[in-house]
Amino acid sequence: MKKKILFIISSFSKGGGAESLLTTIVNNLNPGKYDIGIMEIEHADIKKEPVNDNIKIYPYYVRADDPERNLKMRDVYHEWDKVIAGYIPQDYDLYVSFNYLKPSFLLPPGKKNIAWIHSDVFNLAQENKAEEYELQKKAFEKADQIVSISDITTESLEMLFPECKDKMKVIYNGLDIQNVREKSKEITSVKLEHPAVLSIGRLDERKNPLRLLEIFVQVHKENPQVHLYYLGYGNLTEQVMNKVKKLQLSEYVHLLGYFDNPFPIMAQCDVIGMFSTSEGFPMALLEGVALDKPFVTSVIGGSRILANDQRCGKTVETDEEATKAILDFIHKDYRVIKRECRASIGRFELSKYICQIEKLFDGILT
């Protein structure tokens, strides 16, 4: 008899990395073993994820543009039972919250639950996050297992929630490598000028696009032919545009916006730059390495693992280190980069990833 599994995610319609990863998971779990459902808390209408017909999508809790969004979200934080009773179906065998805070709050008590954490949680140590810390601690009590996706995510969980250490399991993100490579062959009107540094992700505070711009200024001084491309948009878009104009770099810095299929653009770049303040294990880095693209990042989850002893990526702390690493990759022999990228990405192949997940589910469900 098939087991029923429900995934609860903050949003399944914003086109982010967690959404993409969840789509990959549900589309590749064995349909002969599992009935799958997805419930999103906040709906945004940015991207409709391409899930298989056998995946049931439940009504969302609130729209991102709902005038009463903040009021309704308050209930997610403080009236768990009411929201669970109204929006979470109760006939599933296993419930999986697909990140910390909001999705984990809605794990139904008394059920078999997994809290799957896609970011580090160091921010919960801040004084102004004391209430959220206590709420998260309470939510973790409901979980049979806590899944971490990277080295830094694990470090943060063990530091802030040591009482949960025995519940923790590490499963690094996986990728449908062949699918990414096939999609990268699609035609795009966007043509990058070289050398090209590419930023992938929302232009918001966590992604820290302004730091990348500051680093690019130094790269451009060393090599005036280099171009920087931002793939994505967010609440810092206008700020980035204004800073580019002020620096008189409009000819070399380009804001491309959001694309449902970014891979034909990614396939053209020379190096990916990501200087987020916090990440779990960015899918964009995995996708980039699958397309033989090296990366330079701040110290974020998964970057050191994927870099494979710094051979196809560099994890740096200072802007000076970042500048040097970007320039080094721009000048490095592409054949060497390709070889190192292929050696690294093979460890995250989809079939291995799905096998780990099914083993996890079956262990809890037995």
Q: Where does CATH 3.40.50.2000 sit in the chain?
A: 3-174+350-365, 178-348
For the chain, the average pLDDT equals 96
The architecture (CATH level 2) of 178-348 comes to 3-Layer(aba) Sandwich (3.40)
What is the predicted pLDDT for the residue at 16?
Answer: 85
Contact 332, 314 (CB under 8 A): no
User: Which fold would CATH assign to domain 3-174+350-365?
Assistant: Rossmann fold (3.40.50)
* pLDDT recorded at residue 172: 96
Average pLDDT over residues 283-309: 96
Phi first, then psi, for residue 49 (nearest 5°) are -70, 135
Q: CA 281, 282, 286 angle in degrees (round to 5)? A: 100
- Which one, of 81, 78, 13, 77, lies nearest residue 51 by Cα? 13
Per-residue pLDDT of 131-183, as tens digits, reads 999 999 999 999 999 999 999 999 999 999 999 999 999 999 999 999 999 99
Answer positive or negative: Cα dihedral of 182, 187, 191, 194. Answer: positive
What amino acid is encoded at 175 in this protein? L
Over range 342-354, report the average pLDDT.
Answer: 96
Amino acid at 250: S
Tell me the C-alpha distance between 218 and 156, whole Å: 32
Confidence of residue 224 (pLDDT cuts 50, 70, 90): very high
DSSP character at residue 239: H
User: Are 29 and 358 a contacting pair, CB within 8 Å?
Assistant: yes
Query: What phi and psi values does residue 201 have, to the nearest 5 degrees?
Result: 140, 175
Q: Residue 75: which pLDDT band, with cuts at 50, 70 and 90?
A: very high
Checking if the pLDDT of 27 tops 90, the result is yes
Residue 15: per-residue pLDDT: 85
Alpha-carbon distance of 168 to 135, in angstroms, equals 18
**Inter-axis angle of helices 69-78 and 80-87, to 10 degrees?**
110
pLDDT at 1 (0 to 100):
87
End-to-end CA separation in angstroms for the chain = 12
| Closest of 172, 175, 174, 114 to residue 148, by C-alpha | 172
